[in-house]
Amino acid sequence: MKTPAIIDCDPGHDDVMAILLGARTMDIKGITTVFGNASLPLTTKNARFTVELADLRHIPIAAGHDRPLLRENNSADDGSRVHGKTGLDGPTIPEPTVPVLEEHAVDFIYRTAKETPNFHLVPVGPLTNIAV
């Protein structure tokens, strides 16, 4: 039986791999996104693109916080040196059709944790959504 989990991430190349590998070993109840390797709109787009490309459209995606919790947003820290301006530079990424939940990532994590026995949270990006 696969472990139920939410992957909380800021999809750049590394987090895309975490999603793809996690889908093989976990029952992914959702993917929550956060500012980090790129802006929140881009990390959310990258998560949507990943589930669409990997035929994991059944996994809901919820967007979370768009800035760091305790410091100023410094664009020099946004991961673009490693992942490029989009967080997934390299291929041209079409606009995904997978929707984003209207529910905020923090609320989605809380609700899913309460409703799911043996739930695991797998944070692989900034911990802002977890801290709140």
| Residue 120 vs residue 81, higher pLDDT | 120
Cα 35 to Cα 43: distance, rounded to the nearest angstrom:
7
State the pLDDT at residue 88. 75
State the pLDDT at residue 105. 99
Domain segments of the chain: what residues?
3-131
Q: Tell me which H or E stretch contains 84.
A: none
pLDDT at 77 over 90: no
* CB 37 within 8 Å of CB 125: yes
State the pLDDT at residue 117. 94
The token pair that represents 2 in the structure block: 């696969």
Q: In CATH terms, is domain 3-131 a member of 3.90.245.10?
A: yes
Please calculate the CA angle 63-68-72 and round it to the nearest 5 degrees: 140
Name the least confident of 41-45, 56-60, 71-75, 99-103.
71-75
Strand 61-63 relative to strand 3-9: parallel, antiparallel, unpaired? unpaired
Q: Which residue has the tokens 């909380």?
A: 8
